[in-house]
Amino acid sequence: MNEYGPTQRLTPNIEAIAYHEGVPGHHLQISIGQELAGLPDFRRNGQYTAFVEGWALYSERLGKEVGFYQDPYSDYGRLGKRKCGAVFVWSSTPACTKKHWSRDQMVDYFHRYTAMDEPNVQTEVDRYISWPGQALAYKTGPVGNPQASPGGAGKSWGAKFDLRAFSR
């Protein structure tokens, strides 16, 4: 969780960020990966963006599916964070292609189409400028992953699958 400028940050997405970054998100996934015995180092320690972000995005939705979000305000934050993911892809693509969007154009786009607070707008724009393709990998992660798709394991296991029991 980014603790810089807490008085300038919006609170609706805090719970979604906690699931994304903590448990069951990045922290859990990366910890499990590093502890698996018998895997080569590139598998144990490689942080492949599409896979890692796919897991974390699924973690945000899993929090909703098992009823962890505390109130509609937090769920609104989760939905706003999903929208921001689309804006990340949409704004970073022109910056990284022949359209050559400027930093200011990206900042304006974020302000126009998200409810992000100013510190997050600035840091996210800088991140996508300095890490070409990260936004695309972020949103590519869940594509083609049956566990991260709507229905996931529940669809293939049918009545035998109890999501709440699985998440304990």
Segment 33-57 mean pLDDT: 87
What was the pLDDT predicted at 2? 62
- For 147, phi then psi, to 5°, come to -75, -30
For residue 114, give the nearest of 151, 75, 86 by alpha carbon: 86
Distances (CA, A) of 105 to 63, 84, 100, 153: 34, 16, 10, 41
What was the pLDDT predicted at 164? 65
Q: Where are the domains of the chain?
A: 11-153+160-166
Is residue 34 predicted with pLDDT exceeding 80?
Answer: yes
Segment 118-135 mean pLDDT: 86
Segment 107-127 mean pLDDT: 90
Is residue 130 predicted with pLDDT exceeding 80?
Answer: yes
DSSP line for 17-43: HHHHHSSSSHHHHHHHHHH-TT--HHH
What was the pLDDT predicted at 168? 47
What's the whole-number average pLDDT of the chain?
82
Of 75 and 159, the one with more pLDDT: 75
9 with 120: CB under 8 angstroms? yes
pTM, two decimals, is: 0.78
What was the pLDDT predicted at 105? 92
For residue 94, give the nearest of 151, 68, 132, 37 by alpha carbon: 132
